[in-house]
Structure 1
Amino acid sequence: MNREAEDQAIAWVMLTRDPSFADWDGFTAWLEASPEHARLYDALSLADAQIAEQLARPIPTVRRRWRWPVVGGAVAAALALVAVPTVMQPGFTPQTIASAPGQKLTVKLADGSRIDMNGGTRLVLDGPRRARLEQGEALFAVVHDEARPFEVASGDALIRDVGTTFNVVREPMRFTVTVSEGEIVFNPEREQVHVTAGQQIEETGDQLLVTRVEVAQVGAWRQGRLIYRGAKLARVADDLSRGLGLPVAADASVSARPFSGIIQLEGKGEDALRSAAMILGVGVRRSGDRWLLVAP
């Protein structure tokens, strides 16, 4: 299958289902350019519709229900420190693994599980079936074992596997878990939120927001593909930073602008960033030690 045509078909599926979509002439021209385009679009549209039907039940916003009372600052801080305790395995030596910005690493565990790390990521293996994501992004493909559930800690959050593949992003202002296969339980000792394939859970202040996502976009960064539907450019800039190895931010004038489509990262550095900016419809300028996405 032609990867470029497949990427284009995914983008058109995402765009044409948006009620505000208006580029029907461009879409028609793309369909008529090759019989393969129509076949790909029909196949992906059908798959998308089937996923939407399976996930049609309402997904509520989950409010946090803390199990401890509100207490003084010092005691509260101490409780926060032990909210997700590190369970050390006898005879297991913790291992810290870090990837440089723009560098991708793969970690294979003894049980057959696999962890793909994006650029600028720091991960600690606390045990044979436990990891702690301190920063960055990682895709976990877990071999299920009911007797020894795989757990991923990040900040004060805990993710427990129910036989699955899931992507985790930990940044100062963003924490998300996106599931492409199987199911995870988010904070099993607190909110106990079950997140299944095609869903994403995100911390937003004092709430946990569960939304639907395209399964195809989960972990697509491993092939240099960034897939979005209505994502703010501030988030896109963070993803570009990890993938390109450059400090990238979105200027206030464009940070809230939504973007839907696919960015195929080719190479690294300034040239790759400018190519991505063209797809985003923005400009790029240097500001101190970082790059800014700015209004054209």
Structure 2
Amino acid sequence: MKACEKPAPDESRLEAAAHWHARLQETDLPIETWDEFVLWREVPENAAAFAQLEDALRMLDVSEMAGRSEHDAGDGARQAGRRFALNPKGVLLAASAFVALSSTLLIATGRQGHDLESYETALGEIRTIDLADGSHVTLNTDSRIDIDFTARRRNITLTEGQAYFDVAHDADRPFIVAAAESRTTALGTQFEVYAQPGQVSVTLVEGSVVVSEIKAATGIRGVLNALGQGDDSDEGHILAPGERATLVGDAPVRVEPADIETALKWREGRIEFRDMPLTEAVAELNRYSRRQIRIGDADIARERISGVFPVGDQEKFLSTLGLYLPIEVVEVGDTFIVDAKD
């Protein structure tokens, strides 16, 4: 699927972003306000406007501008304007300056429209994407990534599915992959991230990465986390090649050895099972096809299986399975029902 390019935000969106930025400075931010902001930011154009405003505030030294805008409030207010919490007039002044200088700022911050992209794969599709920095990403079936490269960071969000990253080395711009409540940081390395419902796993092939849990945060820190700009994560777990980190809910991060050759076989369009319960093997195969396999017999479901199988070819898998187990297969619509032979 073609990359989706996101245009630079218009003035009205930037003004809305400035108002939100000002509201999020409140010390005791009501949860309702935060929920409203999250809903507003779900619109991609709004998210882009807020992100570019953040860059503009940093580049324009908005704290000085905020202090000058409240000149009549005295030295105390001017000093307050220099702190992280910005007053609304200062934010809006910065937004106006940003609109006037948008072309220059977009180049300086590295947030040109073509750098904000999304890629996704259809069911059964596996594809490799060449990124602007020289890195390569291979997406597995039914997966999606959002890419936001700036002058300081290479941010990628794996919104669903599985991706293998071959990262070009750049010591000045860390390569950061967010998936659910996890963040993986690398400079130049090869690793895989697999986001499943309620679980994220990171497998390191080469080099080194730091896998962190993103802590919940409110106010502007929560916003920065959502943008990949914050630091509300734990100190992280440094993985060595051949290790996998698994994050499940609030449980501690589990680090264990990984079978790299087996884990990455999907990049070749094949899946390898080694003494895997049949139910788990079927669940994995079903990821690649609309024609689903369902095990109808409890005893058959408890069997274990080993072997290498092509993805998306359910008939071949079932034919091979029938050579080793006493099964019969009934096809009902797009479903293959597997039962024990009478």
TM over 0.5: yes
Q: Provide closer, same or farther for how the CA distance between residues 273 and 156 of structure 1 changes in structure 2, counting only shifts above 3 A.
A: same
> CA, structure 1 residues 251+204, in 2 after alignment: closer, same or farther (shift >3 Å)?
farther
Indicate yes or no: 2:333 matched with 1:262: no
Number of the residue aligned with 2:130: 108
Q: Relative to structure 1, is the Cα distance of residues 164 and 293 closer, same or farther in structure 2, using a 3 angstrom cutoff?
A: farther
Secondary structure (helix, strand or coil) at the match of 1:221 reads helix
Q: 2:140 aligns with which of 115, 118, 124?
A: 118
Matched-pair contact (CA < 8 Å) for 2:121–2:140: yes
Q: CA, structure 1 residues 146+246, in 2 after alignment: closer, same or farther (shift >3 Å)?
A: farther
Residue 179 of structure 2 corresponds to which residue in structure 1? Answer: 154
How far the C-alpha of 1:168 sits from its partner, in A, is 1.3
Give the TM-score taking structure 2 as reference length.
0.53
What secondary structure sits across from 1:90 in the alignment?
coil
Residue 226 of structure 1: aligned partner:
271
Q: 1:15-56 CA deviation, whole Å, 9 max, x = no partner?
A: xxxxxxxxxxxxxxxxxxxxxxxxxxxxxxxxxxxxxxxxxx
Structure 2 counterpart of 1:236: 281
Residue in structure 2 matched with residue 187 of structure 1 by the alignment? 212
In structure 2, how many angstroms separate the alpha carbons of the residues matched to 1:170 and 1:178?
12
Letter paired with 2:112: G
The one-letter code matched in structure 1 to 2:159 is E
Which residue, 197, 200, 210 being the options, matches 2:244?
A: 200
Compute the TM-score of the two structures, normalised by the length of structure 1: 0.60
Task: Say which structure, 1 or 2, has more relative contact order (CA 8 Å, 6+ apart).
Answer: 1
Where do 5+ consecutive residues of structure 1 fail to align?
Answer: 1-72
In structure 2, the partner of 1:132 is 157
- Residue 227 to residue 187, structure 1, CA distance change in 2 (3 Å): same
Asked if the contact 1:118–1:242 (Cα under 8 Å) also holds between the matched residues in 2, the reply is no
Stretches of structure 2 that go unaligned for 5 or more consecutive residues are 1-29, 39-46, 53-109, 214-232
Equivalent position of 1:214 in the other structure = 259
Q: CA RMSD in A?
A: 3.8
**Deviation digits for residues 210-268 of structure 1 (CA, Å, limit 9, x no counterpart):** 110122224211113323445444543343123445445666937985846332216x3
CA contact (8 A) 1:253 1:295 kept: no
Greater fraction of residues in helix: 2
The structure with the largest alpha-carbon Rg is 2
CA contact (8 A) 1:179 1:218 kept: no
After TM superposition, the structure 1 stretch with the greater mean CA deviation from structure 2, 182-191 or 163-172, is: 182-191
Contact 1:166 1:179 in 2 (8 A): yes
CA spacing shift, 1:207–1:230, aligned 2, 3 Å: farther
Deviations 1:182-207 (A, max 9, x none): 12110173141111211111123422
Distance 1:134 1:252 in 2: 35
In terms of fraction of residues, the more strand-rich structure is: 1
Structure 2 letter corresponding to 1:186: V
